[in-house]
Structure 1
Amino acid sequence: MTFRFEEEDFEHIYVLEDFYPTNPFAEEEFMVVSFRDDEDSSNRISFILTFNRSTRPLPNYPKLTPVQSNIVKNWVKEIPNELMVLLKQRAMEAKAYGEKNPMSYLEFAAERYTNFLEMFPSMKENLVFTYEDEKYFAEDHYRMDPREKNRDVKLFIYKLDLNETNQAPVFSYTYHFNEKERSEEDARLKPEHNEMLVAMNQAISSLYEILKKRYRDAKKLGEELMKQAPPEILHVNEKLKPNEMVH
């Protein structure tokens, strides 16, 4: 799809290129639009477009000139509905691709705990249990760095409410595979939260085995991500104190 713009006296022919996030868990729906000069690929007009037709600049991208900004403003205002439907369809296809290929959006983060469902979106086994006649579920997060033998899982306990998408967790809990460390962690919980964990363990009798397997799967995925991560991301400065910023 090509365009010429009146704001530039129709001087250049631009090819429309569109890019989409593949993360199926991304809450905001947007795309990156880039008009590439057909004769000079270094001449581009790129910006973020949401599906409510709002725009914003691309991070770490040169600021658009006033003429380019007017091009974007007028083009967005005149986008045909048929084109918006096509772009939305492509956005859905990108997320469907990401669900089958999580490596397309995952990044290696040595220090971060990542939601298991985000790492393996096709996984259908949920950690659901009942406590005092209410349904709850546990969201399990893992450190993917295979060099870190942390042997724990971060659990976030939520009430199962299909009508609430942005609810805060009831509480969070570090599940240690070492029984002594797990007992010490349990002792720090509020009584009602401890009771909820008991209910979860009773409802999911193989919880330990499930989390252990997922822990190993997360580490294997981390190994794969390390192979494609830039070298500076893999460097860990062991001299830094906790919470110390790197400049």
Structure 2
Amino acid sequence: MLNFNRTQGQLPNQKKHSKVQTEIIKGFVKNLSDELLVLFKQRYMEAKAFGEKDPKSYLILEPGRYVNYMEIFPRNEENLNFSHGDGKLFAEDSYELDPRVDNRDVKMVFYPFELDDKNLKPVFTYTYHFDEGKRAEEDSKLDAKTSEMLLSLNQSFPDLFETFKKRYKEAKLVGDDLLKSGPKTPVFESKIKPNDACPCGSGKKFKKCCANKLN
């Protein structure tokens, strides 16, 4: 990830770069010309304007893939910033778009609230289950420090459960639109072996077809 202040960072869900990859990236950033940086800024503004107008133009429907709510609804202004102790944190909430998957949960990543820091590292990740039993099980795995952060979030947003349910439904509706308008990626109910014929009907082996779309 290239920042416009000529620094580079790594996305939270991205695999750690190898030593060789890191050196290549550093070299690219170091030798980046002013003209190319301006071009990147122009492309960024164009992509952002287009994305805000039609988020479905870049959203991809893949079973098992969670998408940040701000990516689904870029014009949304309801953030999850909250105070904790002497500082502030913010949470990102992501949703499974596929309406055929009844997951009923939200994937969350918590970050320190630092306006000037372009290389924020996540404090912790958490799965918010709508089912109280599953949520209690998830909470039992947290240490005391993390539990306190989660408590601060719930105190700042008393209607958090209702907020997540609303966003969950909105995300599924977007997924339903994508399902109707785009290529179909099947959901597999039973275990399929790599060398079995792919259920999508392509005639290829599962390992060389839709198995790649689920990874």
Q: TM-score, normalised by structure 1?
A: 0.61
Q: Does the alignment pair 1:94 with 2:47?
A: yes
Q: Does the alignment pair 1:142 with 2:95?
A: yes
Q: 2:170 aligns to what?
A: 217
CA displacement, residues 67-110 of structure 1 (integer Å, 9 cap, x when unaligned): xxxxxxxxxx9xxx7x9968854652332121221111111111
* Structure 1 or 2: more strand by fraction: 1
Q: In structure 2, the residue corresponding to 1:246 is in which secondary structure?
A: helix
8 Å contact from structure 1 (residues 113, 142) kept in 2: yes
| Superposed displacement of residue 28, structure 1 | 7.6
**What 5-or-longer segments of structure 2 have no aligned partner?**
5-27, 194-205, 209-215
Would the alpha carbon gap of residues 139 and 201 (structure 1) be closer, same or farther in structure 2, given more than 3 Å must change?
same
Q: 1:246 aligns to what?
A: 207
1:1-247 matches, cutoff 5 A:
89=42, 92-231=45-184, 234-237=185-188, 238-240=190-192, 246-247=207-208
- Distance of 1:84 and 1:140 partners within structure 2: 31
CA displacement, residues 20-62 of structure 1 (integer Å, 9 cap, x when unaligned): xxxxxx8589xxxxxxxxxxxxxxxxxxxx9x998xxxxxxxx
* Bigger relative contact order, structure 1 or 2 (CA pairs below 8 A, ≥6 apart): 2
CA displacement, residues 186-234 of structure 1 (integer Å, 9 cap, x when unaligned): 0111111011111110011111111110000000000011122223xx1
Would the alpha carbon gap of residues 143 and 84 (structure 1) be closer, same or farther in structure 2, given more than 3 Å must change?
closer
- Distance of 1:127 and 1:87 partners within structure 2: 29
Larger Rg belongs to: 1
- Distance of 1:166 and 1:156 partners within structure 2: 15
**Where in structure 1 do 4 or more consecutive aligned residues deviate above 6 Å?**
83-87
Q: How many residues align?
A: 171
- Distance of 2:51 and 2:191 partners within structure 1: 37
- Distance of 1:138 and 1:235 partners within structure 2: 31
Would the alpha carbon gap of residues 90 and 182 (structure 1) be closer, same or farther in structure 2, given more than 3 Å must change?
closer
